[in-house]
């Protein structure tokens, strides 16, 4: 365990409210980071309201004692119904919101139809904004709250064939950091967690979006696509470079419980290395280095 981990935990232990039952709404709980954080929060004594899109995933969560609900960020009516249902169960209060659910649209920018970007932003930006706006008045009225968003290192630096996903995460960064400034002195805090590679199914789940929107066989980038598809099918999505979701949970726990939550939590070694390179290298050299990393 590193020095930062001890520091995060110490801050959390010093927070007396941790002994109280806390409520959190967490999205994208069917797998990966969301599933891990849902179970870890519940084990730590939180009352967790978790969401998923598929009925079978909702059933699994409920079988484990989690209060689970349907949510698709692309459907405003499901966002409204979710908020109503959760607030009915809490008496109109909520301590924390963790926006985590998302999908990753792969493909070179020149191969992406506008509709692909629309769907990416509906799920990864507009839906997050809608849900967050519905929760802010609740937190303002009670005088406290934590709004945490699972961004990505790709919200801080670009990557080949990830333009749509990068754009959505850059948008989240700008939107929610502006919100953080606007909520100063309200008792409501905003934090962004920026993971690098973490064990999850996001890239595998994104395959359907790639096949839906990208004519990869007719693209000038077909060789690069073929290489990535082969890596994915070979199980490269679980390489040694990927961290366990616990690294995200430690950051989330600090963002939820610290008296002074950070605006940014960069987690995983590759993400921290990327931030360091961005500081040290001239932009032209940095982007040449990134362009070779396919």
* Pick from 280, 258, 206, 249: nearest CA to 35: 249
The residues, ordered by sequence, that sit 6+ positions from 248 with a Cβ below 8 Å of its Cβ are 33, 36, 37, 150, 193, 195, 198, 267
Selected catalytic residue, list 36, 98, 165, 170: 165
Q: In what order do the strands lie in the sheet with 67-70?
A: 67-70, 47-52, 23-26, 96-99, 145-150, 188-195, 264-267
Token pair belonging to 218: 């007719």
How many CB atoms are closer than 10 A to CB 99? 25
- In angstroms, the CA 67 to CA 47 distance is 8
Token pair belonging to 207: 């395959």
- In angstroms, the CA 193 to CA 125 distance is 15
User: Beta partners for 150?
Assistant: 193
* Pick from 2, 36, 135, 10: nearest CA to 79: 135
- In angstroms, the CA 188 to CA 147 distance is 7
For the question of residue 225 being annotated catalytic, the response is no
Q: Where are the alpha helices (DSSP H) in 72-113?
A: 76-90
Token pair 């939590």: residue: 265
Active site residues: 165
């Amino acid at each position: 365990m590193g020095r930062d981990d001890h520091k995060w935990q110490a801050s959390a232990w010093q927070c007396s409210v941790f002994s109280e039952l806390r409520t959190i709404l967490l999205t994208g709980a069917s797998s990966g980071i969301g599933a891990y954080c849902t179970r870890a929060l519940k084990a730590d004594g939180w009352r967790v309201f978790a969401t998923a899109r598929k009925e079978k995933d909702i059933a699994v969560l409920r079988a484990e004692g989690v209060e689970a609900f349907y949510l698709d960020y692309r459907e405003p009516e499901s966002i409204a119904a979710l908020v109503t249902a959760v607030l009915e169960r809490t008496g109109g209060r909520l301590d924390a919101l963790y926006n985590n659910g998302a999908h990753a649209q792969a493909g070179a920018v020149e191969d992406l139809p506008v509709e692909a970007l629309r769907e990416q932003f509906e799920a990864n930006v507009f839906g997050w904004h809608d849900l967050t706006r519905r929760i802010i008045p609740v937190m303002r009225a009670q005088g406290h709250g934590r709004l945490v968003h699972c961004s990505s290192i790709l919200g801080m630096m670009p990557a080949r064939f990830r333009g749509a996903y990068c754009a959505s995460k850059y948008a989240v960064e700008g939107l929610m950091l502006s919100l953080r400034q606007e909520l100063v002195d309200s008792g409501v805090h905003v934090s962004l967690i920026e993971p690098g590679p973490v064990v999850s199914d996001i890239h595998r789940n994104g395959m359907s979006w790639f096949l839906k929107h990208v004519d990869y066989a007719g693209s000038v980038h077909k060789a690069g696509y073929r290489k990535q598809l082969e890596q994915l099918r070979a199980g490269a999505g679980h390489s040694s470079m990927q961290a366990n979701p616990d690294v995200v949970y430690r950051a989330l726990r600090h963002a939820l419980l610290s008296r002074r939550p950070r605006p940014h939590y960069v987690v995983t070694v590759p993400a921290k290395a990327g931030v360091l390179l961005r500081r040290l290298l001239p932009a032209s050299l940095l982007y040449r280095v990134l362009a070779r990393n396919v």
